[in-house]
Every structure is written in structure tokens, then in C-alpha cells.
Amino acid sequence: MSLVTIKNLWKMYGDNVVLEKLSLTIEEGEFCTLVGPSGCGKTTFLKMLLGQETPTRGTFLLDGEPFPQEPSIERGIVFQRYSVFEHLSVLGNVMLAIELHSSPFLGRLFGKKRKEAKETAMKMLVSVGLGEAAEKYPSELSGGMQQRLSIAQSLVNKPKILLLDEPFGALDPGIRADMHALILDLWKKNNLTVVMVTHDLHESFYLGTRLLVFDKVRHDPHAPNAYGARITYDIPVGDTRKSVLHEINKSIT
Ligand SMILES: Nc1ncnc2c1ncn2[C@@H]1O[C@H](COP(=O)(O)OP(=O)(O)OP(=O)(O)O)[C@@H](O)[C@H]1O
Ligand SMILES: [Mg+2]
């Protein structure tokens, strides 16, 4: 059974048709990258995967079951703007992610459970290369380090699907390359399924196993909201293509 099954899915806001007639399945372990023009509904699509938005029409299944109505542990998300709390240390931020998951009402753990949460959070920080920065505060971190922190927050509760919305767009090229290496490493080690929005086609070929292009195929100049975007290309990105791209990349940088 596919991890995600989408059939004839429509999403509208009032009379603004954002997405129309989407049908696709996503298998466990895939790394899907998603590109398309600004405003075509990429973030909306991720929000539906996250459970923050509901489809207007159509079938949307996770493991063959209707999607839970609320964001759940099946999914983690890293948005480009960091969701970290400034008054908590790096370690505190990752512990809070565990605490909110294990104790959603209190948001706190005590005694042995708290000690375990601390150990788990610390391991996660080490795996994203933030072991040395555990006691720092978010404002003391570089952009790349903040991004690592939000990835750590998302991954610490072992989500099945990691959703990334233009996670590396704001980073310098060198730091972006480090983040690419990190995300590929975490993806392989944790058997994750990743859905990542990017504006960078190069990035999508480099990271993904599959490229999804969202675009409008129908336009009415008198009613710009009448038609939504569809998936216009769904391209598998094999290792051969990746290694060619890697060579080209090396020769131009
Ligand atoms: N909560 C909302 N209420 C009403 N309309 C919305 C809402 N969220 C998004 N939209 C509309 O849905 C459309 C798609 O927005 P979305 O943010 O998904 O685009 P996007 O592809 O992520 O764009 P970008 O590349 O600029 O991030 C836009 O027309 C936007 O105005
Ligand atoms: Mg967006």
C-alpha cells in the first residue's frame, strides 16, 4: 500500500481554484521535490499533507486511511521561517518538541521521562551537528545552524514524512551544500519519506528521487482564479541522471 494516495483532489479558497484534479501516490522512502510558479499552491499542498488544510474535494489517504484532521506525529515540517522559541536554549527547543508530543496538554515531562527526553534531544542535536551548540540560544546561531535546529525539532519524534517548504532558500551557497549533505544523510539513515518544495530546479534534481512540477494548464484571462494548478510533470530522478548532474556541477563550480 502506498504511504500517500491522492485521487482527484481539488482545493479552493472561495471561488479561487488553487489545485485541481491532482492524482498521485507517494511510496515510503521517496524523496519528492516540488517546483512550480509562485502562487500555484505548493505550500497549500504541503499544508494538506500536514493536516493544516483540508482538501475541498477528492481522496486523500495516509497508509490507506483518511488523513488525520490535525497535524500528527506522522509528519514533521520545516518551514523556511524558523519555528524556534527564542527564550529556550537549543537543547530546550528540541526537548520541548518531545514534551509537546508526549504530554500535549502540560507540555512538560518530569523525572525519569524528562531525563530520557534530554538524552534523546541531545542525540538528535549531535546527529545534525549541533552537539556543541546545545546550551546556546537561537539568536546566537547562524542561519544554517537555525535551520539544523528546526530540522532536529522535526525529526526528534521520528515522523514518517518530513515536509520541507523551501528550507534552504535563505542560506548562503556553502551552508546550503552542508544542509544538502545533512538532509540526504538523515533521509537515508531514518528511512524517511520527504516532500520538499524548492524554487531551485538544480536542487530538486540533486536531492530528489522524483520531481513533481505544479502548473496551471488552463488559463482564462478574464477569470484568473477559475482554474487551478495540476501536476504537469512527474519525473523519476535516477542515479545516472544525478551523477551526470553532479559532474556538471563540479565542472562549473
Ligand atoms: N488561507 C488562505 N486563504 C485564502 N487563500 C489562500 C490561503 N492560503 C493560500 N491562499 C491562496 O492560494 C494560492 C496558493 O498559495 P500558496 O501559498 O500555496 O502558493 P505557493 O505555490 O506556495 O507560492 P510561493 O512559491 O510564492 O510560496 C494563492 O493564490 C494564495 O493567495
Ligand atoms: Mg509557498
Kindly state if the Cβ of 224 falls inside 6 Å of ligand 1: no
Nearest residue to 79 (alpha-carbon basis) of 189, 182, 197: 197
Sheet containing strand 16-26, edge to edge, reads 65-66, 57-62, 4-13, 16-26, 229-236, 210-216, 31-35, 193-197, 161-165, 75-79
**Domains, the chain, with CATH or none:** 4-74+159-252 (3.40.50.300)
Protein residue with its CA nearest to atom 25 in ligand 1: 38
Partner residues linked to 212 by β-bridges: 34, 234
The CB of 39 under 6 Å from ligand 1? The reply is: yes
Cell numbers 516540488 correspond to 34
CA angle 73, 110, 157 (to 5 degrees): 20
pLDDT of residue 249: 60
* Residue whose CA lies nearest to ligand 1 atom number 9: 44
Using the atom order of ligand 1, give the atom closest to the CA of residue 36.
21
Residue identifier of the C-alpha nearest atom 7 of ligand 1: 13
pLDDT digit string (tens) for the chain, length 253 residues: 899 999 999 999 999 999 999 999 999 999 999 999 999 999 999 999 888 899 999 999 988 888 777 666 667 666 655 578 999 999 999 999 898 877 666 667 788 888 999 999 999 999 899 999 999 999 999 988 998 998 899 888 888 889 999 988 878 888 888 889 989 998 998 889 999 999 998 899 999 999 999 999 888 888 888 899 999 999 999 777 667 666 666 665 5
